[in-house]
Structure 1
Amino acid sequence: MPSSFEGVPFTVQPALVVDLDGTLIHTDMLHESALQLLREHPLQTLQIPGWLRRGKATLKERLAERTRLDPRTLPYNQPLIEWLKTQRAEGRTLVLCTASDQRIARQVADHLGIFDDVIASDGHDNLAGTRKAAALVERYGDRGFDYAGNSSTDLYVWRHARQAIVVDGSPKLADQAAAVTEVARVFPARPQGFNAWRRVLRMHQWMKNILLFVPLLAAHDLTNLHAWGLLAVAFASFSLCASSVYIANDLLDLESDRLHPRKRKRPFASGLVPAWKGVLLAPVLLGVSLTLAWQVGTPFLSWLLLYFSLTCVYSWRLKRLLLIDCLTLAMLYTLRIVAGAAAIGQSLSFWLLAFSIFLFLSLAFVKRYAELRLHRKGTGSLHGRGYHSDDAPIIQMMGIVAGYAAVLVLALYVNSDAIMAMYEHPKLVWGAVPVVLFWVSWVWMRAHRGEMHDDPVVFAIKDRTSLATGAIFALVLAMGTGVLGHMPW
C-alpha cells in the first residue's frame, strides 16, 4: 500500500505471520504438554483418548489447563527471532499464529515481547492447515500477509500468502512453497545425521555395560569362549535397554535438561530431534533388547527386567528424592555385575558385591556433586532434584567416605581366606589397594576442582590417569594370579 511521509513515498509492509511449533520453537507444544502430563499426572493421561474424540482443539486445551509452561526454557529458533526483531524495528506488524492452544501461545508471545497479536486454537477450532489459512484470509485478505512456517501443512497457508518464509524445512518443502507463492527467505534446518542419533542413544554410555564382564574376569575364566559369546549378546541387550530408558528419561526431563548448561544441548532438549521420534523409538529398542535377553537365558532376562523397572521408577520419581537417587544409581551400576553373573551362571561373592555397592555409591555422589558445582550458589534448589545448592559439601563428604569404604572392603578381601584359593601370589594383590585408593582420591579431587564430567564412569573411560590406573590395577592382579610368570616370553 503506497503512502508518503513529508513527500517521500514508502510502502507499508503487510503483516508478518509466524507459526509456533517447529518454526518459532524447535519443538511441538502438543507433544511437550502430553509428556509433561505423563511425568506429573500419569493417571490423567488415560483421559487423552476421550479428549481427542472431542477434537484436537479440545485435547490441546485440556493439556494446557493441566500442565505448566515456562516459556523461558523452550528451544527457540534464535536466527529466526533475530530476523523478526529487525523486521519489527522496520515497522512491520508481527503476528503469532499457531495451532497450539491460546494459553501457550500468549505465554510465549508475552515472554518474547515482539508480537503485536496472537491467533491460536481456542478449544473449539484447531487452527491448522485450511482453518489457519481461512482465518488469516478473513483478517488480512488474500495475499495480504507473509507467513513463516515449517511443514507441508503450511502449504495451505502459503497459497494465500504474499510471500513465504520457510523455516527448518527440507529443500523439497522450499520448492513446494515456491510453486504456490514467492519464497522470500529460507532458514535451513539443522542437520541431524549420525551424530545426533548417537547422542539420542547415548552410545558413549554403553561403556558402562562393560561391567557385565566383571564376573567372568573375577572368576579368572578368560578362556571360556562360550561365556564370552553370551556376554557379548548380553552387552548388546543391556545397551539397547539402557538407550530406551535414556530416551524416556530425556523426554520426561526436558525442562530440567534445558536449565542445565550441558544437558540443554541434548537432541530432545534442544529440539534437534522431535520428541515424537523418541516416543516411537524407545519401545522398539526395548523390544529388541528383550528378544536378545531371551536368547541369553531366563536368569539374565529377569535381572534385565528388574534393571528396566528400577530405571523407569528412577526416571519418574526416585531421581527427585534426596539421597534415594544416589542409592538407586549405585544399585543400577551393581545390577550390571549381577546380570553379567546370571548370564554365564556364575555366583557372586560377598566381597565383590560389597566392594561394588560402596564404590558405585561414591561415583553416584560424584555425579550429583558435579551437578551441584555447576549450580550457582545461593540460587535455591537444583531443578528436578531434591538438593539445594549448599548441599555440595555434605555430598562431597559422604561420597569420599563411601569411596574409602570400598577400599576398606578390598583390603579386607585381600586379607581373607578366599584370596588364597584365587591367587598364586596373594601378597602381590595387596598392591591393588593403594591403586584403588589413589583412583578414588583422584576422582574426588577432580570433582572438587570442577573438572568432573557429570557422569564419572564416562569420565573414567576418557581420563588418561584413570585409564593408566586401571591398567596398573589389572597388572597387579595378573601378577597375583601368576599368569605373567607362565607366559612364554
Structure 2
Amino acid sequence: MAIPPLVVDLDGTLLRSNLLLETGMAFVRSQPLRLLKPVAWLARGKAALKENLACATQLDVSVLPYDPAVIELIEAERRAGRTVVLATACHHSLAERIAEHLKLFDQVLATRADLNLSARRKRDLLVEHYGEGGFDYAGNSRDDIPVWAAARQAYVINPESGVERRAKARGNVERVIRSNPARLRDWLRAMRLHQWAKNLLIFVPLLAAHQLGNLALIWQALLAFLCFGLCASSVYLLNDLLDLADDRRHEAKRHRPFAAGRLSIESGLVAFPLLLGLAFAGALWLLPWAFAGVLLAYYGLTLAYSLALKRRMAVDVIVLALLYTLRIVAGAAALGLALTFWMLAFATFIFLSLAMVKRYAELREARRQGRSGRTGGRGYSPDDLEMFSTLGAASGYMAVMVLALYTQDQTTAALYSRPFLLWLACPLLLFWITRVWMITFRGLMHEDPVLFAVRDRVSLMVCALFGLVFWAAT
C-alpha cells in the first residue's frame, strides 16, 4: 500500500518567516511613498494583495531562512520514497521559485488570483486531491488546525501559542518539532543594547558646562539616556525589518535575529512602535518638550536614512554624523544647557570621520571578497576606498583643528584657570584619529568605530588622559 504524501506548509513551518510580511516590508523599503497602494490591493481581497506584492517586489529566495529541521524531515521522507507536496497560502510565483530552489517537492499548491489557499480552503483542496485522511500534514499555526483534522497524521512545527494543545486534541499528532524558540537574548540582540553606549553622548553638555556635581541634572541626563535608548532600539528593530534582504546577503548581519528568522516579523511590527511609544511617553512626561522635539527629529532622520538616504552617496555618512551629533543636542535640550559653536563643529567633524571609517571598513571587506559593484545597498563600490580614506582622515584632523581653536577662545579662557593645558588634548586626539584610521586601513576594524572606542583599551586610556587634561586645566 502506498504511503500517503507528506504535505508541508511554508510560512512558519519550512520557512522561518512570513512571505506576505516579507514582501510587504520589501515594498515599503523600495516604494515608501506608495504606502497606501497595498490598502487598495487588500480591498480586492487577500489573494490580490499577495499577487500584487509578489509582482512588485523581487525576493531572493536563495537567502530566505529555511528551517534545517524541516528540510531534514523532508529529505528523510523522500529517501523513503514518499511524495512530498508544498501547500502554502503564499502566492504561487513565490512558492514555485522556492520549490525550484530547494528541489524537495513533487508538487506545489499555492494561492492564485482567484483563491487564497489558507485554512479551510487548503483543507478542502487537499481532501479533493488525496481524500479524507489520505495525507499527512506539517504546519504550525491556527489556520492549520482544520487541515490537521482532515489529515492522517499531524506534524506540528514550532507551534504558535495554544496550537500544540489544540492539535493534540485531535489525537493524530505524529511528531512535534521545536527547532526555533525565541529567546530573551535574541530580543536583547535585536534591540542592540550594546549600541546604547553611543547615547553616553547625551552627557557631553553636562561635562562641557562643568555640572557633574549637579545631581538634579545628572538624574535628568539618565532619564534622557533611557528615553533615547528606547527610541534608538525602536529604530534598530524597524531598520532590521526593512533591511532583511541586504542583511541576509551580509556575512555577519545574516545572523541577526530577524534576518535569521529567530524572531518573527509579526513580533517586530508590534515591538518597534511599543518601544517608540514608551520613549516619547517618557520624554513628554518627565523631560522638557525640547528634548521630545530633538527625539522626534532623530527618529524622522533615522527613518529617512533607513528608507532612502543610506543609499545616497555622501548623504549617508553626513546623516550618520548628524545622528551622532543629535545625541549631544538632545542632552543639551534635556538639561536646559546651551550648545556652543565649538561643540557642534567638533562633533560634526569627528563623527563624519568615524562614519567614513565604518564605510571604509565595509568597502575594504567587499574588495577582499572580490566584489566590484555597489555593496550592501549603499551608493559606493570598493573603487571608492582611496577617496574615503582621504576624506575621512581629513575630517578627523579638522576636528583636531576645531579643538585647537577652542583652546584659544576667550570664552574658554573664562571657564578654565589654566587654559594653556588644553593644548595637550590636541596631540592625544591626533594620535587617536591616526590610530583608528591605521587600524581600519589594515582591515582590523570589524565593528562600529564608536563601539570600538568603548571596548578598545588604548582608546579608553586616551579618553582617560583627555579627561585628565581638562580636569587639570579647570
Equivalent position amino acid for 2:446 in 1 = H
- Pair 21,170 (structure 1): closer, same or farther in 2 beyond 3 Å: closer
Tell me the CA shift for residue 100 of structure 1: 0.5
8 Å contact kept, 1:15–1:146: yes
Cα deviation, 1:273-297, whole Å, max 9, x if unaligned, reads 1112222222222222222222311
Tell me the CA shift for residue 185 of structure 1: 3.2
Moved more, 374-383 or 355-364: 374-383
In structure 2, what is the equivalent of residue 474 of structure 1? 467
Query: CA separation in 2, counterparts of 1:217 and 1:453?
Result: 30
Tell me the CA shift for residue 31 of structure 1: 0.8
Moved more, 373-382 or 176-185: 176-185
Tell me the CA shift for residue 171 of structure 1: 8.8
Equivalent position amino acid for 2:154 in 1 = A
Moved more, 128-137 or 386-395: 386-395
Residue 54 (structure 2) aligned to one of 59, 64, 68: 64
Q: Does 1:305 align with 2:296?
A: yes
Cα deviation, 1:38-58, whole Å, max 9, x if unaligned, reads 111234331333332332212
In structure 1, what is the equivalent of residue 350 of structure 2? 359
Query: CA separation in 2, counterparts of 1:249 and 1:221?
Result: 36
Q: Does 1:286 align with 2:276?
A: yes
Moved more, 145-154 or 318-327: 145-154
Tell me the CA shift for residue 358 of structure 1: 0.7
Query: CA separation in 2, counterparts of 1:367 and 1:270?
Result: 23
Moved more, 174-183 or 434-443: 174-183
In structure 1, what is the equivalent of residue 249 of structure 2? 259
Q: Does 1:329 align with 2:320?
A: yes
SS at match of 2:150: coil
In structure 2, what is the equivalent of residue 9 of structure 1? none
Q: Does 1:194 align with 2:184?
A: yes
**TM-score of the aligned structures, taking structure 2 as reference length:** 0.95
Alignment of 1:173-188 (within 5 A): 173-188=163-178
Query: CA separation in 1, counterparts of 2:62 and 2:434?
Result: 39
SS at match of 2:258: helix
SS at match of 2:380: coil
Residue 114 (structure 1) aligned to one of 90, 104, 128: 104
Query: CA separation in 2, counterparts of 1:80 and 1:336?
Result: 45
In structure 2, what is the equivalent of residue 394 of structure 1? 387
SS at match of 1:95: strand
8 Å contact kept, 1:208–1:457: yes
8 Å contact kept, 2:203–2:221: yes
Query: CA separation in 1, counterparts of 2:164 and 2:276?
Result: 37
8 Å contact kept, 1:307–1:335: yes
Query: CA separation in 1, counterparts of 2:12 and 2:65?
Result: 10
SS at match of 1:17: strand
Tell me the CA shift for residue 418 of structure 1: 3.3
8 Å contact kept, 1:257–1:263: yes
In structure 2, what is the equivalent of residue 316 of structure 1? 307
Query: CA separation in 2, counterparts of 1:268 and 1:56?
Result: 24
In structure 2, what is the equivalent of residue 5 of structure 1? none
SS at match of 2:6: strand
In structure 1, what is the equivalent of residue 360 of structure 2? 369
SS at match of 1:26: coil
Cα deviation, 1:226-255, whole Å, max 9, x if unaligned, reads 211221221122111112221221111111
Query: CA separation in 2, counterparts of 1:16 and 1:433?
Result: 70
Cα deviation, 1:60-107, whole Å, max 9, x if unaligned, reads 112112121210121111232133223223322221110011111111
SS at match of 2:138: strand
Alignment of 1:230-245 (within 5 A): 230-245=220-235
Residue 413 (structure 1) aligned to one of 397, 406, 430: 406
SS at match of 1:126: coil
Tell me the CA shift for residue 181 of structure 1: 4.5
Query: CA separation in 1, counterparts of 2:400 and 2:270?
Result: 44
Cα deviation, 1:191-229, whole Å, max 9, x if unaligned, reads 322211112221111111110110110111112222112
Residue 44 (structure 2) aligned to one of 54, 57, 68: 54
Query: CA separation in 1, counterparts of 2:74 and 2:408?
Result: 71
Q: Does 1:204 align with 2:178?
A: no
Moved more, 410-419 or 344-353: 410-419
Residue 99 (structure 1) aligned to one of 73, 89, 96: 89
Equivalent position amino acid for 1:113 in 2 = K
SS at match of 1:268: coil
Equivalent position amino acid for 2:158 in 1 = D
SS at match of 1:269: coil
In structure 1, what is the equivalent of residue 265 of structure 2? 275
* Structure 2 unmatched ranges of 5 or more: none
In structure 2, what is the equivalent of residue 213 of structure 1? 203
Equivalent position amino acid for 2:465 in 1 = I
Q: Does 1:131 align with 2:121?
A: yes
Computed over aligned residues only, the root mean square deviation of the Cα atoms, in angstroms, reads 1.8
Equivalent position amino acid for 2:192 in 1 = R
SS at match of 1:24: coil
8 Å contact kept, 1:170–1:189: no
- Pair 171,306 (structure 1): closer, same or farther in 2 beyond 3 Å: closer
**TM-score of the aligned structures, taking structure 1 as reference length:** 0.92
SS at match of 1:147: strand
8 Å contact kept, 1:231–1:343: yes
Query: CA separation in 1, counterparts of 2:179 and 2:278?
Result: 31
Equivalent position amino acid for 2:225 in 1 = F
In structure 2, what is the equivalent of residue 439 of structure 1? 432
Residue 144 (structure 1) aligned to one of 122, 125, 134: 134
Tell me the CA shift for residue 392 of structure 1: 2.3
SS at match of 1:387: coil
Tell me the CA shift for residue 147 of structure 1: 1.4
Q: Does 1:342 align with 2:342?
A: no
Aligned-pair identity (%):
49
In structure 1, what is the equivalent of residue 216 of structure 2? 226
SS at match of 2:35: helix
- Pair 257,50 (structure 1): closer, same or farther in 2 beyond 3 Å: same
Equivalent position amino acid for 1:210 in 2 = L
Equivalent position amino acid for 1:228 in 2 = I
Tell me the CA shift for residue 367 of structure 1: 1.3
Tell me the CA shift for residue 175 of structure 1: 4.4
SS at match of 1:451: coil
SS at match of 1:267: coil
Query: CA separation in 2, counterparts of 1:379 and 1:72?
Result: 21
* Structure 1 unmatched ranges of 5 or more: 2-11, 482-489
8 Å contact kept, 1:37–1:63: yes
Query: CA separation in 2, counterparts of 1:166 and 1:446?
Result: 50
8 Å contact kept, 1:96–1:119: yes
8 Å contact kept, 1:169–1:189: no
Query: CA separation in 2, counterparts of 1:349 and 1:212?
Result: 15
In structure 1, what is the equivalent of residue 151 of structure 2? 161
Query: CA separation in 2, counterparts of 1:31 and 1:169?
Result: 19
